[in-house]
Amino acid sequence: MPSNRFYYWAQPGWGNRIWPKHDWQQHDGKDKTLSALIDEFPLLRELDSFDQVQLAHVLTVCRNSKTQAEAGRKLFAVSRQEKINNGKTPNDSHRLGQYLKKYGLSFRNLCTNACT
């Protein structure tokens, strides 16, 4: 059996492969189900399922982070490193704020009595 950092995946025609698990695939038990988040944030009902899942993940990461900057670093880790490698200064906190604003949300409002 593979370690918890990997999962076994069998796909017809691809053979059996072991793929690395990414941080977004590892749950710490604090995650709410999508249906629970939809109950809490009715705006999710108005989105396509792709956008629902993406926003639900962002909401969960925000609630499991102490600051907007921490949440931004978690969410944009790969592109953050690319920017650093290209000599740019990433501002993940601002990027997250812009994403939340698109849905009429803010980190402060999300984390009232909910953030770790």
Q: Three-class SS string for 70-103?
A: HHHHHHCHHHHHHHHHCCCCCCHHHHHHHHHHHC
Tell me the average pLDDT of the chain.
76
What does the CA dihedral 71, 27, 57, 21 come to, rounded to 10 degrees?
90
Residue with tokens 């999300």: 110
Alpha-carbon torsion 44, 49, 53, 54, what sign?
Answer: negative
Q: Containing H/E element for 19?
A: strand 15-20
Q: List all residues 6 or more positions away from 40 whose beta carbon is below 8 Å from its beta carbon.
A: 32
User: Is the confidence at residue 7, as pLDDT, over 50?
Assistant: no
More confident of the two residues 100 and 112:
100
- Per-residue model confidence as pLDDT tens digits over 13-24: 545 444 444 444
Q: Is the pTM of this model over 0.75?
A: no
Q: Give the model's pLDDT for residue 103.
A: 92
CA distance 47 to 28: 26
- Per-residue model confidence as pLDDT tens digits over 58-94: 999 999 999 999 999 999 988 888 888 888 888 999 9
Helix (H, G, I), strand (E, B) or coil at 53: helix
